Amino acid sequence: MGSVDALVIGGGFFGCEIAVELRRLGFARVMLCEREAGLLRRASYVNQARVHNGYHYPRSLSTAERSRANFERFVADYGFAVRTDMVKLYAIAATSRVNAGQFASFCGKIGVLCREAPAALARLFDPDLIEAAFLTRELAFDAVALARSAAQRLADVHVDVRLGTPVRVEPIAAPARPVRVTLPSETIEAGLVVNCTYAALDDVGIPVKARLKRELAEMLLIPPPRDIADVGITVMDGPFFSTMPFPAAKLHSLSHVRYTPHEAWTEPGHGNALPTRSNAMAMLRDAARFLPVLAKVEPVRSIFEIKTVLLRNEDDDGRPILAETCVASPRILSVMGSKIDNIYDVLEMLRAHQWKESA
Ligand SMILES: Cc1cc2nc3c(=O)[nH]c(=O)nc-3n(C[C@H](O)[C@H](O)[C@H](O)COP(=O)(O)OP(=O)(O)OC[C@H]3O[C@@H](n4cnc5c(N)ncnc54)[C@H](O)[C@@H]3O)c2cc1C
């Protein structure tokens, strides 16, 4: 039977970064297994590509402040994959849960740019439905560029990357012993297992205590009308929408608070997670009421993913990291980053972790 010092399950953004970090921390033989045919093909690709800077979280000051703290660092470290030549507007709907004054004062509190949008951009909105539009600083990342760089860095530090390799962790017989893991063609023992499978977190044979909420999410890809080719727009705060550059496909994404989620569930597993319909036209129709330039847009395609969040943050939209040591074995850690810029919080957690049980 083969063995490794550390096995990372899941080749999304977090699994890749964690595997590289484990090498830095001294784990000699690190293997990363991803069941898809390439890296960053699931949630790390199917998302709104927003490098958060706090604006999105007026109801969770702690998440807003963490995003604020990590934003510049992310842009500096992953600049090759961040679209910086874009403008970002936050527009406050007339029926928003926060009004324009409250939003501006929240931005002041977390120390982010929030200036009245220039008239040429403010004119994009229906004035009866939008109370105010603000110029802000928020950017979009390119998941394909992140995947390319991750593959290179994993190779540079000699992580053994296995694509097309679904993993199952076998029941824990003795907590102190290495963890036995089944791959399609072999069984191996791992001194440490880091479970970075996001939507499959409790579906790889590792029990997870935290309660998760899953939501089948539809993200629509559209060709941006010329007026917003370099503009991202988020309408706050309630059942509204965001359209952002989606650099990985050179299109814009469109998500809608009411129409992006198809169904949600809190019990473990995948539920009925295959899309049976598309809400594309409903998203576009509603968004075009606020932003009339969307009225003539022809959708390109929808992409779907199971969005996974901690149930305890359902009301405040907070997005802290999850890092949970398995009750059955100190050699198993489940990690969920929740949003891309949380990578720094995850790496900090790994550096502070007591590794003596597993190294
Ligand atoms: C609709 C949507 C919109 C979002 N918008 C944003 C946003 O704008 N900004 C932001 O920062 N974050 C956003 N997020 C959150 C962000 O996408 C995730 O936090 C991040 O991508 C999670 O990365 P990950 O590596 O944990 O997960 P993933 O990228 O999903 O990686 C997990 C990997 O595990 C693999 N896997 C699963 N089971 C197994 C197994 N048994 N064996 C081997 N491999 C397995 C999967 O194939 C997958 O590749 C959004 C998420 C969604 C779904």
pLDDT tens digits, one per residue of 66-118: 899 999 999 999 999 999 999 999 999 999 999 999 999 999 999 999 999 99
End-to-end CA distance of the chain: 19
**What average pLDDT is seen over the chain?**
95
Which of these ranges, 57-71, 240-254, 269-283, has the smallest mean pLDDT? 269-283
User: Which range of residues forms the domain containing residue 274?
Assistant: 84-140+211-313
143 vs 340: CA distance, rounded Å: 10
Q: pLDDT tens digits, residue range 47-71?
A: 999 999 999 888 888 889 989 999 9
Say yes or no to pLDDT of 270 above 80: no
CATH number for position 343:
3.50.50.60
Atom of ligand 1 nearest to the CA of 255: 1
Q: Is residue 49 part of a domain?
A: no
Q: 19: how many CB neighbours lie within 10 A of its CB?
A: 28
**36 CB near ligand 1 (under 6 Å):** yes
- Which distant-in-sequence residues (6+ apart) come within 8 Å of 348 by Cβ? none
**42 CB near ligand 1 (under 6 Å):** yes
Asked whether residue 158 falls in the same domain as residue 264, the answer is no
Confidence of residue 291 (pLDDT cuts 50, 70, 90): very high
Asked whether residue 152 falls in the same domain as residue 270, the answer is no
Q: Is residue 50 part of a domain?
A: no
In DSSP terms, which residues pair with 254 in a beta bridge?
220, 243
Give pLDDT, residue 88. Answer: 98
**CA angle (258, 129, 109) in 5-degree steps:** 80
Confidence of residue 272 (pLDDT cuts 50, 70, 90): low
Phi, psi (deg, nearest 5) at residue 6: -145, 135
Q: Is residue 51 part of a domain?
A: no
Residue 208, classed as helix, strand or coil, is coil
Say yes or no to pLDDT of 271 above 70: no
Which of these ranges, 10-24, 109-123, 139-153, 301-315, has the smallest mean pLDDT? 301-315
8 Å CB contact between 69 and 157: no
CATH number for position 223:
3.30.9.10
Q: Is the dihedral of CA 287, 293, 299, 305 positive or negative?
A: negative
**33 CB near ligand 1 (under 6 Å):** yes
**43 CB near ligand 1 (under 6 Å):** yes
Asked whether residue 224 falls in the same domain as residue 126, the answer is yes
What's the average model confidence in pLDDT over 301-306?
97
Confidence of residue 356 (pLDDT cuts 50, 70, 90): low
Pocket perturbation via mutation, ligand 1, pick of 16, 35, 53 by most ligand atoms within 8 A of CB: 35
Q: What proportion of the chain, given as a percentage, has pLDDT over 70?
A: 98
Name the residue with the closest Cα to ligand 1, atom 37.
197
Atom of ligand 1 nearest to the CA of 166: 42
* Six token digits for residue 70: 């990590």
Name the residue with the closest Cα to ligand 1, atom 2.
47
8 Å CB contact between 30 and 16: no
Name the residue with the closest Cα to ligand 1, atom 26.
198
Say yes or no to pLDDT of 357 above 70: no
- C-alpha 293 to ligand 1 mean position (Å): 31
Give pLDDT, residue 177. Answer: 93
Pocket perturbation via mutation, ligand 1, pick of 52, 260, 340, 343 by most ligand atoms within 8 A of CB: 340
**213 CB near ligand 1 (under 6 Å):** no
pTM, entire model = 0.96
Say yes or no to pLDDT of 1 above 90: no
What's the average model confidence in pLDDT over 195-209?
95
Say yes or no to pLDDT of 219 above 80: yes
**CA angle (67, 71, 74) in 5-degree steps:** 125
Give pLDDT, residue 314. Answer: 78
Q: Is residue 359 part of a domain?
A: no
Asked whether residue 6 falls in the same domain as residue 123, the answer is no
Q: Is residue 47 part of a domain?
A: no
Asked whether residue 176 falls in the same domain as residue 104, the answer is no
Atom of ligand 1 nearest to the CA of 44: 21
- C-alpha 27 to ligand 1 mean position (Å): 24
Asked whether residue 165 falls in the same domain as residue 301, the answer is no
* Six token digits for residue 62: 């702690």
**14 CB near ligand 1 (under 6 Å):** yes
Q: Is residue 309 part of a domain?
A: yes
Atom of ligand 1 nearest to the CA of 217: 1
Asked whether residue 203 falls in the same domain as residue 226, the answer is no
**318 CB near ligand 1 (under 6 Å):** no
- C-alpha 11 to ligand 1 mean position (Å): 9
- C-alpha 118 to ligand 1 mean position (Å): 36
Q: Is residue 69 part of a domain?
A: no
Q: Is residue 61 part of a domain?
A: no
Q: pLDDT tens digits, residue range 159-176?
A: 999 999 999 999 998 888
- C-alpha 199 to ligand 1 mean position (Å): 7
Asked whether residue 191 falls in the same domain as residue 215, the answer is no
Give pLDDT, residue 318. Answer: 82
Domains of the chain: total:
2
**305 CB near ligand 1 (under 6 Å):** yes
**243 CB near ligand 1 (under 6 Å):** no
- Strand pairing class (2-9; 30-33): parallel
**204 CB near ligand 1 (under 6 Å):** yes
What's the average model confidence in pLDDT over 333-346?
95
- Strand pairing class (139-141; 2-9): unpaired
Asked whether residue 302 falls in the same domain as residue 199, the answer is no
- C-alpha 1 to ligand 1 mean position (Å): 31
Asked whether residue 201 falls in the same domain as residue 215, the answer is no
Q: pLDDT tens digits, residue range 313-336?
A: 877 778 889 999 999 999 999 999
**9 CB near ligand 1 (under 6 Å):** yes
Asked whether residue 194 falls in the same domain as residue 100, the answer is no
Asked whether residue 234 falls in the same domain as residue 309, the answer is yes
